[in-house]
Chain A
């Protein structure tokens, strides 16, 4: 598709977030031709295309879909709505142009290097996996050390096996899913080691992906050495103490040809950063307000580029809002910043998205999403307006691997003079 000079809304990334944002923008009244979805890969759907396991869409569609099926529903919708998109197109720069427009430099085989202008931008570039280097695991650097997602692509898309005897470091969902996937495809997954005393993945995945196949999960363990000069020959796993430091004398050696890493996801905000978008040191994603608007006016963020989600349903929900808000911005421009309320995460709550709310600008409700810092049992999630508790919800279990949320209503916030909302855990 040929890129035009001007758009109202440019959506950077055609994964689940970008697709929902485009649909949201269109539903909120943005003309289809005024929207463009820019995707760097050769198809829409993003990483869902390689997530062939089921478990997607329970919230949205009330049925369990696989990744490509879930993406397929949104892609079909996008095609039905005739919202334009380009593939194989990389955004290499976003800059501020005149009168608040954004200049987006794209490159592709088809359109060459093309700078387009947009009134509003939705950032939906997703995230990347933390690499071995970021962990400083000692040892050799042989072939056979893969991030779980890379291995997933090799197996599910390319039809090649990354290895036969596998150790997995990190119990994030992709690692758990790949443990089952590789087992089904004939590999032997020897162990999953997790640095933390709790798993980073969903409980159901531990049951379905590890327990079902008798794959041991070793909590409070990490890889302390990688062996093998050309191809992985084995790894050493050690137990860690409360400070997550390996304990001498607890080393165990696992012979294997592959080490998969599922050690966390990092929102991919290099573009946002170069544009000058303020990033949160906790989420590594943009700091946003109730409209999911970043520190730069007219630039919105949603999905895993904003903060890493565990369920794509919430990505879609959030992205739809971002798309709607972008459409609103493109139509009426700058909105009020008066009476802004700050949100403070406290006592076990690590962060909140958004981090500010301007009641004048919000829709009827705002969903505040957050993660907790540890595993907690039988705690209340409490909401305080200027020190006064207004809400508390009992939770049997809270875990860092599972995102939580509270919904705030406009009627409770508008013209109430509230300065601060605290979200915390309490007994």
Chain B
């Protein structure tokens, strides 16, 4: 054996892998997270509803129910420690037919059994008082005040940065191509290196079945379940204050209409099982159905205010998460579909607990749970902002005019722990390019800053993955 022997390698840099990494960082040991893409938060974690579910949806007694309710309870504290935006805006599950009131009651009871606090069933009138833009079709609603909204990028990146600051090594562009059982644990073959570890944590999202199947006798099959979304301008972010779900009926599971934690409005998702694990394209049918279904919930759907549409894949296996030691020292965190984001902090603890017990790891005494986020200068008071610019003038140069993101914020995104190297990396850390012009104005400027700070030619700057270069070369001048 050569080189480093890790205590545990986590495969997958999504919200689950990052949460597990942060929890493992509380223990003594050498931990590494490997991610096949160029950054954390590039798979399922980057494209979802961005909701911290209350926990009434999952069947009683499932891991899903347990992790969701626990994760929801933890989220306030986690968000504070990681300095990320999180808001308990509450949620409604809308019922559109008196005949379905029984199902609404069932959902209420399931929630109570799952341990969800403060649930209430509201009449149409009561619901309207809280949400005046509800459509005329709404007859009643289940109200879950503990439901919340969060930025999934900020959560994943915050967890990962904090894990890295506490000693977890992150390796990007490092897929696990092959895994071998060894005397001391496992050997992982990546593109350019071979890694040795005592234990593996499989948090590979839609690819978790492939990782699992490299090691385990019993085989898993993940079905990527595509969800398409439409995101609308902040102008219409106040159509509702709470997340509006629809009560599932025979016609299918509904979609949600919700403000995001940054004040946009999100509509979606659809649910289509597909084969392609990278099949994150949107479809006309999907987007049309989002618009059609959203109009059940609210009076007028602001389709004209759409600023982007996207789709994400949920790693669907069965109807529960798999959180288990599936082979000796091989730990699965698989089948993490919704409510995975909500459950992430609890799953992190759950898996870290299993790993640390198995490997007999000791708690560290110098774990620092606090991570300072990127300063969002536009959210400061005039006095604070003036003082900041005086100290660091880069915060006085606006790069993204829609979201009012300054050069200072972009520099911070590049130079901090696990810094951004791509346009999307900058976008997910700072929101530059996420506004109404969708990076039309700021992308050349952000490309210039990346090129300058990373010392790369402009045509090497990528949107995200390896083939995603933005410019295809210098124009033919002066040669």
Contact = CB atoms under 8 A, between A and B. Distances in A.
Indicate whether A and B are direct neighbours in the complex (CB within 8 Å): yes
Interface of A: 40, 88, 90, 92, 105, 107-115, 128-129, 131-134, 136, 138-144, 147, 149-150, 153-155, 157-164, 185-186, 224-226, 229-231, 246, 257-258, 270, 273
Contact of B440 (A109, A131, A225): A131
Interface in B429-467: 436-441, 443-444, 448, 458-459, 462-467
B444 A90 contact: no
A418 B441 CA distance: 45
B444 A113 contact: no
B468 interface: yes
A92 B402 CA distance: 10
Residue of A107, A108, A143, A155 with most partner-chain B CB within 10 A: A143
Given A162-B470, A185-B476, A230-B467, A107 B444 contact: no
Given A131-B438, A161-B473, A162-B471, 13 more contacts: A92-B378, A108-B396, A108-B397, A109-B397, A112-B390, A113-B386, A128-B437, A142-B468, A150-B441, A157-B444, A158-B448, A163-B472, A230-B464
Contacts of B308: 131-133
Give the secondary structure class of A's interface: mixed
A362 B398 CA distance: 38
21 contacts: A90-B401, A107-B389, A108-B397, A109-B389, A109-B396, A110-B396, A112-B389, A112-B396, A133-B308, A134-B307, A136-B309, A143-B464, A149-B440, A150-B440, A160-B471, A160-B473, A162-B471, A229-B278, A231-B467, A231-B468, A273-B235
B328 interface: no
A113 B465 contact: no
A50 to B, nearest CB: 10
B250 interface: no
Interface of B: 230-231, 235, 278, 280-284, 286-287, 303, 306-310, 378, 382, 385-386, 389-390, 393-394, 396-398, 401-402, 404, 406, 436-441, 443-444, 448, 458-459, 462-477
A163 B280 CA distance: 23
B437 A153 contact: no
Contacts of B475: 155, 159-161, 185-186
A128 B443 CA distance: 14
A230 B310 contact: no
Given A115-B382, A128-B437, A159 B474 contact: yes
B399 to A, nearest CB: 10
A164 B393 CA distance: 38
Contacts of A142: 463, 468
Contact of B231 (A40, A129, A133): A133
Contact of A40 (B309, B398, B459, B465): B398
A180 to B, nearest CB: 14
A131 B463 contact: no
A114 B382 CA distance: 9
A132 B468 contact: no
Contacts, number: 149
Which A-B residue pairs are the 10 nearest by beta carbons?
A133-B308, A131-B438, A143-B463, A160-B471, A230-B467, A113-B386, A143-B468, A109-B393, A230-B468, A90-B398
B271 to A, nearest CB: 17
A147 B440 contact: yes
Nearest to A139: B281
A131 B462 contact: no
A369 B244 CA distance: 44
Nearest to B407: A109
A153 B476 CA distance: 16
Contacts of B441: 128, 150
A143 B382 contact: no
Nearest to A224: B284
Tell me which of B402, B440, B473, B474 has the highest count of chain A C-beta atoms within 10 A of its own C-beta: B440
Nearest to B467: A230
Contact of B472 (A131, A159, A164, A270): A164
A90 B389 CA distance: 13
Given A133-B438, A147-B440, A138 B397 contact: no
A133 B306 contact: yes
Nearest to B286: A138
B466 to A, nearest CB: 7
